[in-house]
A and B are shown apart, each in its own frame.
Chain A
Amino acid sequence: MSKRIEVKDLNVYYGKFKAVEDVSLTIEPRTVTAFIGPSGCGKSTFLRTLNRMHEVIPGASVQGEVLIDGKNLYDADVDPVMVRRQVGMVFQRPNPFPTMSIKDNVLAGVKLNNGKISKSDADHLVEKSLKGANLWKEVRDRLDLPGSGLSGGQQQRLCIARAIAVSPEVILMDEPCSALDPISTLAIEDLIEELKAKYTIVIVTHNMQQASRVSDKTAFFNIAGTGEPGKLIEFDDTTTIFENPHVQATEDYISGRFG
């Protein structure tokens, strides 16, 4: 169900400004890959190119190839909407739909896309997704209340439940814990560990301990200076990156000498 992502010579632009330069890497199925690096180095921008969310921003464009199981996402005949159904995303700030109940939030992707789903199927999917996101026990008796009434950590897990309800192949997480307290962060990290069994997960994080805790592979991005494009400096097993990095900049960053 999960898929391999291959990125080849990818350049990302905002208008004329080149934000990310020449990234090539391969993400294996059923692994967790963490992107780390200083602010503005283009890791979130790069993440968003993996499900074509990047082009939602006016003027943004991409050069190069992103292959998911050999199929280039940026081929002319690929519909970005179909890409996003395969590659789900969880954002930095929890963003449940304020007009919808908890249940409808989970069902949002399914209901908005093809409209009809039988009640028993819907109930089943809600339970499965919320259990998948470790939220079922906390919300099962208030499924019809608005999702915005939950705590920040619960909202974020609701967003994860919403993302896995459309059964994607890959889940992208853009600093999913940066707005959360340590307890909620722990809950999300445990969840990532469980989700790994089924999905390919890519996570952007500013928290290096988090990267070392949850990920199998780590990619370090860096930026030469303001106005320069961000680059992929090193991509390797997480243990290698944190214990025995090959590039000096990586070591400087993870040992806290800059950043």
Chain B
Amino acid sequence: MSALVVPAPTSARQLSKPTLWLTAGVSAFVAFGVFGVLMAAGISEGFNIVAAVFASAILFVLLSYVMSRIVEGRRKAADRLATGLVTTAFIVALLPLISLIWTALVNGLPRFDALFFSSSMRNVVGEGGGGLHAIIGTLEITLAATIISVPIGIMTAIYLVEYGKGRLAKAITFFVDVMTGIPSIVAGLFAFALFAIFFGPGIRFGIGGAVALSILMIPVVVRSTEEMLKLVPNELREASYALGVPKWLTIVKIVIPTAIGGIITGVMLSISRIIGETAPLLIIVGMSTSMNYNLFSDRMATLPVFVYTQYASQGSDAQAYIDRAWTGALVLILIVMALNLIARLVSKLLAPKGLR
């Protein structure tokens, strides 16, 4: 007999796919059953689907762990438990999001009609009316904020990555980080105080809102662009220098084109960050029921403030106001979603083929 003992191949006994599906089915059945009984008994009001899904997931993780422990052994069971916990955490993170979008859809769809997109709230009390003025206002103010923030933000990032060294660069990085944490209301008050100096107290106009929003936007643009520029391999810069290309041309023609996909994604994300801001706009832009295309004079409506005022000061027909508020929220979500999709598309199209 040989002294060498060949280790047995890993345990052939494994939980089969159908068994696992069955376990999942049983868990779901039990969890939904329990919540169904609770509802029938009148303990909970209505069927709590979120809690039921969550309970099924937990039950499934526990059941499969126990079964795996018995059939497959400790290592496999631990593996299943870890996978299960990570997946459950993912579901927990996702549930509020899905729930939010679902609620916005259900409540927003009733007024998601042509009238909403073709009329303002001018002379509307009760039913009818729409949010066109708010959509235009949001788009104009956000666009203005982007035009202000993107050049400043990108140039700051270029300075920090390509030129900055020593105390100044460290100080800028520090203050950019501090700026990321500025409460939006403070940005609004800053813009209000700033413009009050020039135009007297009580000034309200769109461009002031754009300035307030760019204070919130600049640090996000700086941070994301900085990260993207750092990702550009140093070898490319050196290759360009070695060809006798000056530094500024290297940055413009080599570094930025290589990072452009990521920079655009960062800019789009920063737009999503500020497009839903309410507080600063409430202070410096105010609210209007009429259409105002002019950023530089008079109050403007914006979607977040539109949602807020519709909900906060309901008129005689309360339901009409609440419906408009939900539709406004839904439109805002859709705009952000569209922006993100565009960002993904653009960064995919522009990303250099070799790097990703």
CB within 8 Å of B: which residues of A?
Answer: 51, 53, 56, 58, 81-86, 88-89, 91, 93, 95-99, 108-109, 112-113, 146-149, 159, 162-163, 166
Contact = CB atoms under 8 A, between A and B. Distances in A.
B181 interface: no
Contact of B352 (A81, A82, A148, A166): A148
Give 4 closest A-B pairs by Cβ, nearest first.
A148-B354, A85-B244, A98-B352, A109-B243
Contacts of A58: 165
Contact of B254 (A88, A91, A97): A97
15 contacts: A58-B165, A81-B245, A83-B244, A84-B242, A85-B243, A89-B242, A91-B239, A91-B242, A97-B254, A99-B258, A99-B352, A112-B245, A112-B250, A112-B254, A148-B352
Contacts of A53: 238, 241-242
Contacts of A159: 239
A99 B257 contact: yes
Most buried by B among A81, A83, A112: A112
B290 interface: no
Nearest to B237: A56
A95 B354 contact: no
Most buried by A among B244, B246, B249: B244
Given A91-B242, A96-B354, A112-B240, 16 more contacts: A53-B238, A56-B237, A58-B165, A81-B245, A82-B244, A84-B242, A85-B244, A88-B243, A91-B239, A95-B236, A98-B236, A98-B353, A98-B354, A113-B245, A162-B239, A166-B243
A91 B257 CA distance: 21
Nearest to A162: B243
Contacts of B253: 112
A154 to B, nearest CB: 13
Given A58-B165, A98-B352, A99-B258, A84 B238 contact: no
Interface of B: 165, 233, 235-246, 249-250, 253-254, 257-258, 352-355
Contacts of B239: 91, 95-97, 159, 162
A131 to B, nearest CB: 19
Contact of B353 (A88, A89, A149, A162): A149
Contacts of A56: 237-238, 241
Q: Label chain B's interface by main secondary structure.
A: helix
Contact of B242 (A97, A99, A147, A163): A163
Contacts of B233: 95
Q: Label chain A's interface by main secondary structure.
A: helix
A222 B57 CA distance: 65
B97 to A, nearest CB: 35
A88 B241 CA distance: 10
A81 B355 contact: no
Contacts of A84: 241-244
A199 B211 CA distance: 57
A137 to B, nearest CB: 22
A109 B245 contact: yes
A134 B257 CA distance: 29
A133 B7 CA distance: 56
A147 B239 CA distance: 14
A109 B250 CA distance: 10
Contacts of B245: 81, 108-109, 112-113
Nearest to A52: B241
A51 B258 CA distance: 25
Given A93-B235, A159-B239, A81 B244 contact: yes
A91 B246 CA distance: 18
Nearest to A80: B241
A108 B238 contact: no
Given A148-B352, A149-B353, A98 B258 contact: yes
A81 B235 contact: no
Contacts of B236: 95, 97-98
A82 B352 CA distance: 29
A106 B274 CA distance: 43
A202 to B, nearest CB: 13
A99 to B, nearest CB: 4
Most buried by B among A51, A58, A89, A149: A89
B264 to A, nearest CB: 14
B238 A146 contact: no
A74 B55 CA distance: 73
